[in-house]
A and B are shown apart, each in its own frame.
Chain A
Amino acid sequence: MEVARFCSASHVVIVAGKGGVGKTTVTAGLAVAAARAGSSVLIVEVEGKSGLATMFGTEAFSYDELDLEPGIRARFLTPDAALVDYLESHGMRRISKRLIASGALEVVATAVPGMKDILVLGKVKSLDESRAADLLIVDAPAAGHAVSFLLSPRGLLDAVRVGPISKQASDVVALLSDPARCQVMLVTLPEETPVSEAIETAYAIEDRAGVALGPVVVNQCFEPLPVGVSASVDDVRAEAEAAGRFVSDREAHDLARAVEFRATRHDVQREQIDRLRAQLPLPTIELPFLFTPDIGRPQVDVLADALTRGIERL
């Protein structure tokens, strides 16, 4: 599938997954891949993390849109600002500020769980309706909160049956449950725990929240070493001799250990990717392990390349 077609297939992509799996990196990579394919992108950040701003080398995001680079804009949606925005556009401008200033949102949010999520998702919905961009990418909240984030509109519909918030909730449910408008891109790591959690989350999102799932992104995959590169120190010595190069004993050990580490990780990863594929009937896109703990703009390009290839193979 062409990347541009992928972007127009559903305008809202919610990037979800457990904390630490690289949701933010995938969000950045997808934004760059889409922009390259000519789509305009708006990234929606909901937790106020600094990761995306660092990757694009910009100031921290705020409620107002920020241009990251040609074709890519970003904003940080806070429940407070979304509420003010909502009230103002519904003729309640005068009280909106006071509602926030008095701490009343906190009180109401305690009384109505999911209230904050619905405010944020409601804003995403209105951005979608106003066609703010060809593709809206939502960097979903971390941890198990992604499922409750997506479940909250349904929960809220049950708790609040009348009034504008109820209307808002039912509009959001309509957006989330329409695969032509919205899909979830799950991100995971090729390790035991994250794979198990991705499988559970996938079923919870589809069955309970009723949101369509797109491809699952498996982040940080080691590429295999060429056949014949073994973890044996003797092999290193033999190769050194055959190639006519002096390799010290210590270096031979380091070379062998590094191969062993990578080969073991690679095998564990393959096993987990196979398990993911066997248990989840969804296409997967593998992203390479980047040998750096620093994800900057050049690394985002590498991930955008891999995402583009992955989407084209779908």
Chain B
Amino acid sequence: MTDSAVEELLAESRVVICCGSGGVGKTTIAAVLALEGARRGRNTCVVTIDPAKRLADALGLEALSDTPSAIDRERWDDSGTATAGGSISALMLDTKSTFDKLVTGNAETDDQAQRILDNRFYRNVSGALGGTQEYMAMEKLHELHEHGNFDLIVVDTPPTRHALDFLDAPRRLVRLLDNRIFRMLMMPTRAYLKVASVAVQTFLRTVAKVVGSEVIDDVVAFFRAFEGMEAGFRTRALAVEELLAAPDTAFVLVTSPRRDALEEAQFFAQQLEQGGQQIDALIVNRVHPMFGDEAPAGLRAAAAELRKGDDEGSRDEQAAERLAERYENLADFREVAEIEREHLRGVHERVGSASITYVPYLSRDVYDFAALHEIGGLLFDDSATAGSTITER
């Protein structure tokens, strides 16, 4: 039996990045991939962003925890069927403390670090606002990759519409440090007003007029405190970029079969491509089951016929009505399944992914290892890969 596309991807990667729009089950898929890696004997770590409460409980994450904690083997392998040697650790990204650590680690003196940590502008940007979460997710990945002793790291990404937000995140601070306005702000007190051109002066005054001069002062203080640290941040941004481009880093795009989600997935893939990345696997989550192969129209006709009644009056009308309801119900599900399949046809080519894998809609919610493993079974089952389920109905 050949390995499924996802199985192969998992075997060949050291880093797997799960991306996609919100509400498609990205966090769940990330947990499934980490669990299946562990079951195959790898030392895995899953970085989650904002897991649902019960999934967080299953992963042993009671609160934000910046350091990975290993999950007891009995909890994820209670049947004892997994390959020996594997482990799974989980952490929930704490944006602020990750950023604090980055600052402390790069500062030349404790005093410099403290001045930054106390700055009001820093306190604003280090919270979960405006791209910082994406930046810190990548920073965490880098840290775990360098020092974590894991051979497989699965990263869930923040729900964002713009894929470039996280690809670009490490660079953004560097770009800010490079900006000529900020470079001027870093000059000794008010000296910038003397050397700056009239145009820039006008500009700064305008900015101050709009947002208030306090903000400018905070920013100036922040960037002064930053002096000497840019090189460290620049090196770091490059290292993260290299890691993302490495051959053993894989991008998994998760989507649902709904039209809006698929449109978003294609938009996402385009953006990734512009950022020089390619989707290695497309996972379509929550696909409706097929329930046979009859055409919905025929099923509806059967229901109509049953409801017409019969001339002889010899049959059980209530049973006929119940059966008609069943035909209608089957027709409804067949219809939704067929339209979904129609939408999915060729979608992996449109997102430039080498493979496509479907995960059926489970009738129950997923929040424990047993259910995660059930999905794993579906993901790694070769018959669930493109070309089988989709075309051979």
Interchain CB contact under 8 A, A20 and B330: no
Task: Say how far A27's CB is from chain B's closest CB, in angstroms.
Answer: 12
Task: Tell me, in angstroms, the Cα distance from A142 to B264 when the chains sit together.
Answer: 12
Q: Mark A279-308, 1 if CB is under 8 A from B, else 0.
A: 000000000000111110000000000000
Interchain CB contact under 8 A, A242 and B211: no
Task: Tell me, in angstroms, the Cα distance from A225 to B333 when the chains sit together.
Answer: 13
Instruction: Tell me whether B260 is interfacial, beta carbon within 8 Å.
Output: yes
Interchain CB contact under 8 A, B52 and A259: no
List the A side residues contacting B214 at CB < 8 Å.
Answer: 160-162
Identify which of residues 19-71 in chain A touch chain B, using a CB-to-CB cut-off of 8 Å: 19-21, 24, 47, 49-51, 54
Instruction: Tell me whether B391 is interfacial, beta carbon within 8 Å.
Output: no
Task: Tell me, in angstroms, the Cα distance from A238 to B339 when the chains sit together.
Answer: 32
Known contacts A20-B23, A114-B129; is-contact A236 B332 (Cβ 8 Å): no
Interchain CB contact under 8 A, B212 and A161: yes
List the B side residues contacting A258 at CB < 8 Å.
Answer: 291, 326, 329-330, 333
Task: Tell me, in angstroms, the Cα distance from A143 to B65 when the chains sit together.
Answer: 21
Known contacts A19-B22, A293-B339; is-contact A160 B319 (Cβ 8 Å): no
Known contacts A111-B215, A166-B212, A251-B292; is-contact A292 B336 (Cβ 8 Å): yes
Give which listed residue, A99, A148, A239, contacts B129 with CB less than 8 A: A148
Instruction: Tell me whether A254 is interfacial, beta carbon within 8 Å.
Output: yes
Give the secondary structure class of A's interface. helix
List the A side residues contacting B292 at CB < 8 Å.
Answer: 250-251, 253-254
Identify which of residues 80-111 in chain A touch chain B, using a CB-to-CB cut-off of 8 Å: 87, 92, 95, 98-99, 102-104, 107-111
Tell which of A172-180, A206-214, A260-268 binds the partner: A260-268
List the B side residues contacting A109 at CB < 8 Å.
Answer: 130
Interchain CB contact under 8 A, B364 and A110: no
List the B side residues contacting A262 at CB < 8 Å.
Answer: 329, 333
In the complex, the chain A residue whose C-beta lies closest to that of B54 is A192
Known contacts A20-B24, A292-B335; is-contact A160 B215 (Cβ 8 Å): yes
Give which listed residue, B207, B257, B319, contacts A104 with CB less than 8 A: B207
How many contacts A-B (CB < 8 Å)?
219
Task: Say how far B60's CB is from chain A's closest CB, in angstroms.
Answer: 18
Task: Tell me, in angstroms, the Cα distance from A162 to B210 when the chains sit together.
Answer: 9
Task: Tell me, in angstroms, the Cα distance from A148 to B120 when the chains sit together.
Answer: 18
Interchain CB contact under 8 A, B306 and A192: no
Residue from A111, A161, A226 having most chain B Cβ neighbours under 10 A:
A111
List the B side residues contacting A245 at CB < 8 Å.
Answer: 302, 306, 320, 323
Known contacts A192-B54, A229-B326, A244-B314; is-contact A19 B21 (Cβ 8 Å): yes
List the A side residues contacting B50 at CB < 8 Å.
Answer: 144
Interchain CB contact under 8 A, A291 and B210: no
In the complex, the chain A residue whose C-beta lies closest to that of B365 is A192
In the complex, the chain A residue whose C-beta lies closest to that of B50 is A144
Residue from B53, B120, B129 having most chain A Cβ neighbours under 10 A:
B129
Give which listed residue, A113, A192, A225, contacts B52 with CB less than 8 A: A192
Instruction: Tell me whether B190 is interfacial, beta carbon within 8 Å.
Output: no
List the B side residues contacting A104 at CB < 8 Å.
Answer: 181, 203, 207
Interchain CB contact under 8 A, B364 and A268: yes
List the B side residues contacting A108 at CB < 8 Å.
Answer: 207, 210-211
Instruction: Tell me whether A181 is interfacial, beta carbon within 8 Å.
Output: no
Interchain CB contact under 8 A, B215 and A142: no
Task: Say how far A105's CB is from chain B's closest CB, in angstroms.
Answer: 10
Give which listed residue, A243, A251, A264, contacts B306 with CB less than 8 A: A243
Instruction: Tell me whether B263 is interfacial, beta carbon within 8 Å.
Output: yes
Instruction: Tell me whether A126 is interfacial, beta carbon within 8 Å.
Output: no
Interchain CB contact under 8 A, A294 and B159: no
Known contacts A95-B203, A225-B325; is-contact A111 B219 (Cβ 8 Å): yes
Instruction: Tell me whether B150 is interfacial, beta carbon within 8 Å.
Output: no
List the A side residues contacting B215 at CB < 8 Å.
Answer: 111-112, 159-160
Interchain CB contact under 8 A, A112 and B211: yes
Interchain CB contact under 8 A, A50 and B263: yes
List the B side residues contacting A261 at CB < 8 Å.
Answer: 289, 291, 333, 363
Instruction: Tell me whether B243 is interfacial, beta carbon within 8 Å.
Output: no
Binding site for B on A (CB under 8 A): 18-21, 24, 47, 49-51, 54, 87, 92, 95, 98-99, 102-104, 107-116, 142-144, 148, 155, 159-166, 191-194, 196-197, 225-226, 228-229, 236, 238-240, 242-245, 247, 250-251, 253-262, 264-265, 268, 291-295
Q: A51-B260, A159-B215, A244-B314 are in contact. List 19 more A-B contacts (CB 8 A).
A: A19-B21, A20-B261, A49-B161, A160-B215, A163-B208, A163-B213, A193-B52, A229-B322, A239-B320, A239-B323, A242-B315, A245-B323, A250-B292, A257-B291, A258-B326, A258-B329, A259-B326, A260-B363, A264-B363
11 A-B pairs (CB sep. < 8 Å): A20-B261, A92-B210, A107-B182, A113-B127, A142-B22, A236-B326, A243-B306, A245-B302, A255-B329, A258-B330, A294-B259
Q: Which 5 A-B pairs have the closest CB atoms?
A: A20-B23, A19-B22, A254-B292, A242-B316, A243-B320
